[in-house]
């Protein structure tokens, strides 16, 4: 039987991604021309509401210059670069997909942010970092690929300093079944959704106390309605990363949100001492 982690990795395999990005980014200018995180937002912010959501999450989490931040399931690194540029922090991204990490390093080079942003390949379920190493941890649209939430949230708590903030932005199950494929899973086998209440219970049991807890579903629905009116963003966009069927995956996410099958949660929680 194929391991679910391998199936998730396959979903994000993106063969030839860096070369594809290199070619697509020629639209912005020559290879040696520095790009901004904002220019890349249509292709490297892989979650509902894109750059706006990352900016709001960073604000809620109080990320400031000098902090050391971990982005778990950092994708091709858009949130990490945006945080480093706008907040002045250092960011380490970790992701299961080797092609995504290679692309993240390439895009970071193109933005000149390599001094403050780095990436490694690895699993969110076995973070290769010291206890208490980070001031803040981000998890955006990743938990829905991970069935073992207790292990996920406990390892995040382990690498976070006591008092530090865990900022999470994820999809939650509302009712019934969902339309597939969706952006994080082509079949239900690799989709591990929880309700909002179960998500909160799992995170708090791992050693966190909520500072901000917000249902972001209406904002996500507004964003979907706007996309339906304006059509897909100009190329290059997430279709360049995920392949030609991405429009179908994104459309199903929209249907699931609009039909009340899925919701979106944005939350920031403080890491509390082990015995509290
Ligand atoms: C929808 S993308 C979100 C990427 C990024 N957080 C963003 O918002 O732009 C989900 C990411 O989670 C990563 N991922 C899924 N399961 C993972 C795991 N167990 N460990 C590390 N990364 C994982 C995938 O490889 C993918 O890059």
pLDDT in tens, 195-217: 999 999 999 999 999 999 999 99
Q: What separation in Å is there between the alpha carbon of 151 and the centre of ligand 1?
A: 16
Query: Which pLDDT score, from 0 to 100, does residue 176 have?
Result: 80
Residue 185 DSSP symbol: B
Q: How confident is the model at residue 235 (pLDDT cuts 50, 70, 90)?
A: confident
Is residue 263 in contact with ligand 1, taking CB distance under 6 Å? no
pLDDT digits (tens, 9 = 90+) for 153-201: 999 999 999 999 999 999 999 988 999 999 999 999 999 999 999 999 9
Task: Tell me which of 3-7, 17-21, 47-51, 115-119 is least confident.
Answer: 3-7
Question: Is pLDDT above 50 for 1?
Answer: no
Residue 275 is predicted with a pLDDT of 72
Output the six-digit token pair for 20.
Answer: 């594809």
Between CA 71 and CA 58 the distance in angstroms is 11
81-107 pLDDT, tens digit each? 999 999 999 999 999 999 999 999 999
CA 36 to chain centre: 19
Model confidence at 273, in pLDDT bands (50, 70, 90)? very high
Residue 141 CA, ligand 1 centroid: distance in Å: 7
Cα separation, 180 vs 238, in Å, equals 18
Token digits of residue 195: 């309700």
Question: What separation in Å is there between the alpha carbon of 30 and the centre of ligand 1?
Answer: 29
Instruction: Determine whether the shortest distance from the Cβ of 165 to ligand 1 is under 6 A.
Output: no
Most confident of 28-42, 125-139, 230-244: 125-139
C-beta of 82 in contact with ligand 1 (< 6 A): no
Q: Which of 195, 210, 80, 214 is nearest to 149 (CA)?
A: 195
Mean pLDDT score across all residues of the chain: 95
């Amino acid at each position: 039987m194929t391991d679910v982690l391998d199936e998730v990795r396959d979903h994000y395999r993106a063969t030839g991604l860096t070369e594809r990005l290199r070619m697509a980014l020629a639209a912005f200018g020559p290879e040696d021309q520095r790009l901004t995180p904002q220019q890349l937002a249509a292709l490297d912010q892989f979650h509902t509401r894109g750059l706006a959501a990352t900016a709001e999450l960073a604000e809620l989490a109080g990320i400031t210059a000098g902090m050391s931040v971990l982005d778990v399931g950092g994708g091709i690194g858009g949130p990490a670069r945006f945080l480093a540029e706008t907040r002045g922090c250092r960011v380490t991204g970790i992701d299961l997909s080797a092609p995504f990490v290679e692309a993240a390093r390439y895009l970071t080079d193109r933005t000149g942010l390599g001094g403050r942003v780095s990436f490694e390949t690895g699993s969110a379920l076995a973070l290769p970092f010291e206890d208490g190493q980070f001031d803040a941890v981000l998890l955006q649209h990743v938990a829905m690929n991970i069935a073992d939430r207790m292990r996920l949230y406990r390892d995040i708590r382990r690498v976070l300093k006591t008092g530090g903030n865990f900022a999470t932005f994820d999809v939650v199950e509302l009712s019934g079944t969902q339309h597939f494929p969706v952006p994080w899973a082509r079949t239900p086998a690799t989709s591990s959704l929880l309700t909002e209440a179960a998500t909160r219970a799992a995170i708090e049991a791992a050693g966190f106390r909520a500072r901000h807890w917000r249902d972001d579903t209406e904002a996500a629905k507004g964003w979907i309605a706007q996309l339906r009116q304006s059509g897909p963003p100009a190329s290059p966009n997430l279709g360049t990363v995920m392949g030609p069927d991405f429009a179908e995956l994104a459309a199903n996410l929209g249907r699931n949100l609009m039909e009340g099958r899925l919701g979106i949660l944005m939350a920031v929680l403080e890491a509390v001492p082990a015995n509290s």
